[in-house]
Structure 1
């Protein structure tokens, strides 16, 4: 079986980077209680979530932030299980601070 070439042909146009794809890359940020959280921006799904910052619903299809603690007492898998969906503005304003 012949190996498939993965390089683009010489002279082919450059494919620009889709910067919007970088928004979904998980990042580590300081969150509630000064703990480190993994934060990921999502485009929105088909389910309604309640934002823990303002206690209002996040409508289906609404872009928002998903955050989970990196410092869970029972390990990283437990932190991921306890992830929460936040309005992007609530997370960025740090509404957990009170």
Structure 2
């Protein structure tokens, strides 16, 4: 039987390596844009603002910034914070 010449559909676009999909989270402390990072993309040690513990390279975590208009890394780098997932979820229960 001859091979068909039908073209396969293009795969869906993927996010750049290490970059997650941005989503907006609302809470009593305001609206936040949240990006999940896989551990493979992190190369630096960050301090979580929720527990003040280190987020070591290779650890999956969240990058969070206020949801005000658009964000570009050059404009809002000072407002980005790296959080443990559980610490960001519990931020309303902390002092």
- Aligned alpha-carbon RMSD (Å): 3.2
User: Which ranges of 4 or more aligned residues in structure 1 deviate by more than 4 Å?
Assistant: 75-80
Unaligned 5+ runs, structure 1:
1-6, 10-14
Distance in 2, Cα, partners of 1:79 & 1:35? 17
Distance change in 2, residues 1:43/1:76 (3 Å): closer
Aligned residue in 1 for 2:3: none
Aligned residues: 79
Rounded to whole Å, the distance in 2 between the matches of 1:95 and 1:47 is 27
TM-score, structure 2 as length reference: 0.65
TM-score, with length taken from structure 1: 0.63
More helix by share: 1
* Deviation of the 1:42 alpha carbon: 0.1
Deviation at 1:81, TM superposition (A): 3.5
Return the alpha-carbon distance in structure 2 between the equivalents of residues 52 and 96 of structure 1. Answer: 14
